[in-house]
Amino acid sequence: MEIKKVECMQIPKEIKKIVKDIKDMKIQGASKVRSATIKAIKIFLRKDKSKNVESFYKNFYKVLRLLVSSRPTEPEMRTAIRILLKESKRDLKLDKLKMYLLSICEGYEKSRELALKKIAEYGSRLFEKNSIILTHCHSHTVEAILKEAYKKGLIEKVYCTETRPLFQGRKTAKSLVKAGIPTTMIVDSAVASIMHEVDVFITGADAVIEDGSVINKIGTYTISIVANRFNVPHYAACSTHKFDPITSFGFREKIEERSPKEVWQKRPKGLKIINKAFDITPSIFVKKIITEKGVFGSEAFASYMYQKLKLGEKELEKMSLQKLLEAKA
């Protein structure tokens, strides 16, 4: 009986840098994190020197676990990895398996680019002429919608929050100004003072959970409450890949808590700082979720995804990426 030697590779430095940049928020925004994840996987597929399939899978799962650990609250990343895991279970020789997975990566990114264009089109249809918009944090998907709506002559002005403590709102402001969109930045705590002018509050979504509630940058829930008080609709824009299926099995999406130094570099001794990256906006406050499959009410979107993924026929062990990866550790 032949015993195959299983070799463990050293993680390539390019992959380590991508993981570090995701952790340090140098790569941010779910779509950018997803793209960086696919890039890292492609680097692995091209650099892996495994001599047999067993070694390949050992190294492949090692890289995937490292990527998953980079950000706790990234369902779109996990969806991309889950799709690649499913496609990797092919009865192919090693070289052909790598080539096949590389083609899946390329096709996946193209499908996400097409999805973004569809979301921008669907989202732009929701605005009326001379709309004044408020947005929070930075979302490439929201940017795409606002740029498309502005091209159609539907936007008068956009308010964007600075989004403390890392000021992601500045990225939004720079992008919108570059596109020629009249843009005003406000401090996060000023939203109530301008809400009477606003027609739509629109955000991205880092995750959508089982009841249609939206996980997004900390502060989204607070602003959504204010918007609700002023009868301003809150729309969340995201790919269907942001839906987290394991929340349908009672699993709670982890809310990342980041370093206190992001808030106060040299805080007084004994001072405790809570620096949560995200909060959860209940579905009752989110009027619409804009996706590449159309525009849904928040609870209707969750129901659609439950049926689309056939979650009633599946078990947690088959949907949990962590459990799948642990099984191959």
pLDDT of residue 308: 94
Q: How much is the average pLDDT of 157-182?
A: 97
Burial code (b: 16+ CB inside 10 Å, e: under 16) for 246-269 equals bbbeebebebbebeeeeeeeeeee
Q: How does pLDDT run across 100-151, given as a tens digit for each residue?
A: 999 999 999 999 999 999 999 999 999 999 999 999 999 999 999 999 999 9
* Four-point Cα dihedral 137, 138, 144, 149, nearest 10: 30
3-class SS letters over the chain:
CCCCCCCCCCCCHHHHHHHHHHHCCCCCCHHHHHHHHHHHHHHHHHHCCCCCHHHHHHHHHHHHHHHHHHCCCCHHHHHHHHHHHHHHCCCCCHHHHHHHHHHHHHHHHHHHHHHHHHHHHHHHCCCCCCEEEEECCCCHHHHHHHHHHHHCCCEEEEEEECCCCCCCHHHHHHHHHHCCCCEEEECHHHHHHHHHHCCEEEECCCEECCCCCEEEECCHHHHHHHHHHCCCCEEEECCHHHECHHHHHCCCCCCCECCHHHCCCCCCCCCCCCCECEEEECHHHCCEEEECCEEECHHHHHHHHHHHCCHHHCCHHHHCHHHHHHHCC
Looking at the predicted structure, is the pLDDT value of residue 281 above 60?
yes
Extract long-range pairs of 221-227: CB within 8 Å, 24+ residues apart: 221/279, 221/280, 221/281, 221/282, 221/285, 222/191, 222/279, 223/134, 223/136, 223/161, 223/191, 224/281, 224/285, 224/286, 225/285, 226/191, 226/192, 226/195, 227/134, 227/195, 227/198, 227/201, 227/285
Q: How does pLDDT run across 215-243, given as a tens digit for each residue?
A: 999 999 999 999 999 999 999 999 999 99
pLDDT of residue 8: 61
Report residue 20's pLDDT band, with 50, 70 and 90 as the boundaries: very high
Domains of the chain: 13-117 (1.20.120.420), 121-313 (3.40.50.10470)
Per-chain mean pLDDT for the chain: 91
Residue with the bigger pLDDT between 310 and 89: it is 310
Q: How does pLDDT run across 158-168, given as a tens digit for each residue?
A: 999 999 999 99
pLDDT of residue 2: 43
Residues designated catalytic: 137, 206
